[in-house]
Structure 1
């Protein structure tokens, strides 16, 4: 599983980072940085939770 961030939609509110800080980091400019190109299987549920919780709908998963 991979995650993509729509930079045009992302507002940097940090919900993804709060749910999965080992996978997402919001930098000082309010931009989300992904910590893994390929999400480890044991982290996939956290990613799905973050994607569904993003208020800007800026996160997407691909397989």
Structure 2
């Protein structure tokens, strides 16, 4: 199951830069993870300074 970004996201972009498969993009008001591209590696979760990313 893909990771998800909560509303705690401040759109800093740290997760997008840390995603090795480029599954994260800027959405409306927060970043979003493409579930079809996400490989569940968890790299984004550890780079988020707001702890806004978790396993879906």
- Normalising by structure 1, we get a TM-score of 0.67
Higher helix fraction: Structure 1 or Structure 2? 1
Runs of 4+ in 1 over 6 A off after TM superposition: none
* CA root-mean-square deviation: 2.2
Map of 1:55 onto structure 2: 49
* Cα contact 1:13–1:30 (8 A) shared by 2: no
Larger Cα-atom Rg? 1
In structure 1, runs of 5+ residues without a counterpart are none
In structure 2, runs of 5+ residues without a counterpart are none
Three-state SS of the structure 2 residue aligned to 1:17 is helix
Q: Distance in 2 between matches of 1:23 and 1:33?
A: 8
